Amino acid sequence: MSILEADSNRLLQAVLALLKQKDILTDQEIAERIASTDSATPARGAMMVAKAWVDPAYRALMLRDGAQAAEAVGIPMRGLPPLGVLENTDTQHHLVVCTLCSCYPRAVLGYPPFWFKSAAYRARAVRDPRGLLAEWGTALPDNVQLRVVDSTADYRWMVLPLRPAGTEGWSEAELAAIVQEGDMIGVTLPTP
């Protein structure tokens, strides 16, 4: 363990001790939060997307307040930054990036993929987003406006992708199975 890691660990332990001493958090709450974060995967976000595709009231909630929508399906969001949800349409496509580091909606998508944190992805997403999407095999028609959105420490973003044609009548489970992590970041599109 490096000196920096040791110092960071001591600081973390001191903050946790203070939070417990002031009755802000208990050991159980801390353990629950760690377990929740460690168990989060893109399947959580895919479940939310599938529900939004079949339930108009849930879709409206998700677009109005992503954190409330997550809580409504059992994903704990207490103490986390707000979650915004960007809806892709026939005329608008969203691409999420964190230009400074790797701010990511971990509660609903799990840990960020390695490429999301890379300097190359962050720079290309801002400088040449259509070129970046093309490298992922995502070709958008010229009439589709591409909007790059910066996820920050204060506000996290995920994408509600456009539901693919040919999935009418599918169950939520079937729909969730076709939603991939990249679809909820905006680098890819769900395909049946």
Round the average pLDDT of the chain to a whole number and report it. Answer: 94
Query: Which one-letter amino acid corresponds to residue 142?
Result: D
- CATH T-level fold of 41-184: Nitrile Hydratase; Chain A (3.90.330)
76 burial type by CB count under 10 A (0-12 exposed, 13-18 middle, 19+ buried): middle
Residue pair 87/60 in contact (Cβ under 8 Å)? The answer is no
Catalytic residue from among 8, 101, 118, 171: 101
Question: Which among 88, 190, 102 has a CA at the least distance from the CA of 146?
Answer: 88
**3-class SS at 103?**
coil
**3-class SS at 191?**
coil
Q: Would you call 118 a catalytic residue per the annotation?
A: no
Q: Would you call 2 a catalytic residue per the annotation?
A: no
Residue pair 19/25 in contact (Cβ under 8 Å)? The answer is yes
**pLDDT tens for residues 118-162?**
999 999 999 999 999 999 999 999 999 999 999 999 999 999 999
Q: Would you call 151 a catalytic residue per the annotation?
A: no
Domains of the chain: which residue ranges? 3-35, 41-184
Q: Would you call 171 a catalytic residue per the annotation?
A: no
CA distance readout (Å), 75 to 96, 115, 180: 21, 25, 18
Catalytic residue from among 98, 118, 151, 171: 98
**pLDDT tens for residues 42-80?**
999 999 999 999 999 999 999 999 999 999 999 999 889
177-189 CB burial, b ≥16 within 10 A, e <16: ebbbbbbbbbbbb
For residue 97, list its beta bridge partners: 150
**3-class SS at 159?**
strand
How many CB atoms sit inside 10 A of residue 63's CB?
15
Whether this prediction's pTM lies above 0.85 is answered by yes
User: In angstroms, how far is CA 62 from the centroid of its own chain?
Assistant: 13
Catalytic residue from among 2, 36, 102, 151: 102
| Tokens standing for residue 35 | 């377990």
